[in-house]
Structures are given as structure tokens and as C-alpha cells.
Amino acid sequence: MRTSPVWNPQQYGKYADERGRPFADLVARVQLGIAGEAALDQMSGGAGGGGGGGAALVVVDLGCGPGNLTATLLDRWPSATVHGVDSSAEMIETAQPLANERLTFEVGDLREWTAPPESIDVIVTNATLQWIPEQLDLLPGFVRALKPGGWLAIQIPGNGNAPSHAILRELAGTDPYAEYAAGSSLRADVPGPVEYVAALSAEGCSVDAWETTYSHILQGDNAVLEWVKGTGARPVLQSLPDDLRARFEAEYGARLAEAYPQQSFGTVLPFRRIFAVAQKES
């Protein structure tokens, strides 16, 4: 199995409400097993094709993290079993107390994950594929795992050019950090909605892709530093020896505080996210 950064579920869990909102927005666009006409009417332009008929029986969350969002899929599809996969043993350990007869978790690398063809009703992968440069090459395998009429739902951060990440890459490339950290920060070039439409349409799917910029209002001192320490900055911080890590965090935090000034109401973090929801042909 390939290695990944050692994630800290507690750090990642800070600002859980803000991190969870894109997941909810993503899943809401999957029109499978939606009860009642009213729920369908509330959908704004979901992916074309089969509407809300049928019920999901098997749902997989690829990149499930600590499992708190995965668990919400039990209520979204009450007849389904839900299985979460994540490459981080620490995340899966945190998720395991949530497991029950309908909800299971395992450690696994998305690049190596396979499922029997046409065995899954819904695959969700939220804020995960941005770590995989060859992510578009994985999509055909995900589609093959779906039953006819099944759904694939993807969300990734698209903020690689934001100050939070630009400062991170710049600082990681300077001495004395570059020897350890250069190249460890998240890349800026992730697929956009158009690339997802092209890749998934080529697999015979009906596709709905879009982007949204959230304006999160974060509480606490140097809130953006606390946010990125749980996600984008973690590989860089982890790559540094102990005697440099604190120094890097202090320099990085000072520059973030200048780029994202704290106001009386909190700190505003604009955060672009990219979504794609695709339905496999029946």
C-alpha cells in the first residue's frame, strides 16, 4: 500500500461545520432514492438521466476521513449499507467507533481500490482526489464499479492558488526548509468542472459539474493557520525536522495572519471548491 501523510483527526476536526458543508451540498445533488416529489422539486438542476427513482443499497465513501460525514449517508439512504475507505490508519481508527451493521470502514489507497463491476449504487469521494495527480485516470474504474444508473459524486478543493497555498509553496521552497519540504505542498493544478465533464462524459455518464466559493467565517486566533494545519499544510509540516517545524509554522502563521486579517466577527476564508456528479447510463 502506498503511504500518505500521517493525518491528525483532531486537528482536521476543527471547523467541522465548515468542512462538512460542501459534503452536504454534494450529496444533495445525487438524485437516487429521494422520497417524494417535493424533495425532487428542491433539487436545482441535478445531472440528467434517471431522476430520483430506485433506492441505494450499496454506498461507498472513498476518502472517508474520520467517518463523521460518512455516517450521515445512513440517513440519506436508509436502505443502504455504507462502506468508508481511507488511506490514513489514524482516520480509520477514529471512524471505527461509528461502525455498525450498516456502516463499515477500512484502510485502503484509492489508487489501488477496486470493486466488482456493477456492484455499487453510489460512490462519494469528498476532498480527497486533489491529492492524486492521476485522479482522472481513476474515474473509469469508479464508473465500472457502479450499477447501471448508479451515481458518482466528487468534490475537491480548488483553492490551490489562494494565498494560503501560494504562501505555503513559496515558504517551503526557501532555505532552510527547501531541503526537506520543497515539492511536498499541494499542487495548484487540479481539474476544473470542464475537465470532469469531459472525462465522465467519455464514460457514458450524464454529468453535472460546477464550482462554488464559500466565504467561511472562522473563529479563533490565526484561524486560517489552524485550518490548513489539518489539511493542505500538513505534508509540509510533517516533512520538516522538529527543530525547523516550529520556526516554519511561526513564519507561515505570521504571513497568513497578514493575508487573512482577523476581524471582530472572525476571519474570512474564501474557499473555492469543485463538484461533479455523474450518473452512469442505465
Q: What is the DSSP string of 204-235?
A: T-EEEEEEEEEEEEE-STTHHHHHHHTTTTHH
Using CA atoms, how far apart are residues 241 and 146, in angstroms rounded to an integer?
Answer: 44
pLDDT at 138: 97
**The CATH fold of domain 9-160+187-216+270-279:** Rossmann fold (3.40.50)
User: How confident is the model over 1-14, as pLDDT tens digits?
Assistant: 334 556 565 665 57
Residue 271 in 3-state DSSP? Answer: strand
Query: Is residue 47 over pLDDT 80?
Result: no
Look up the pTM and report it. 0.88
| DSSP assignment string, 109-165 | -TTT----TT-EEEEEEES-GGG-TTHHHHHHHHHHHEEEEEEEEEEEE--TTSHHH
Least confident among 7-16, 156-165, 232-241, 265-274 = 7-16
- Closest by CA position to 88, among listed 115, 112, 124, 64: 64
- Mean per-residue pLDDT, 128-146: 96
- Mean per-residue pLDDT, 147-151: 97
The answer to whether residues 164 and 232 touch, using CB atoms and an 8 Å cutoff, is yes
pLDDT at 205: 98
pLDDT at 188: 67
Cell numbers linked to 56: 441505494
Q: CB atoms < 10 A from the CB of 128, how many?
A: 21
Query: Is residue 67 over pLDDT 90?
Result: yes
Query: Is residue 200 over pLDDT 70?
Result: yes
- Closest by CA position to 91, among listed 234, 273, 200: 234
pLDDT band at 184 (very low <50, low <70, confident <90, very high): confident
Using CA atoms, how far apart are residues 63 and 66, in angstroms rounded to an integer?
Answer: 9
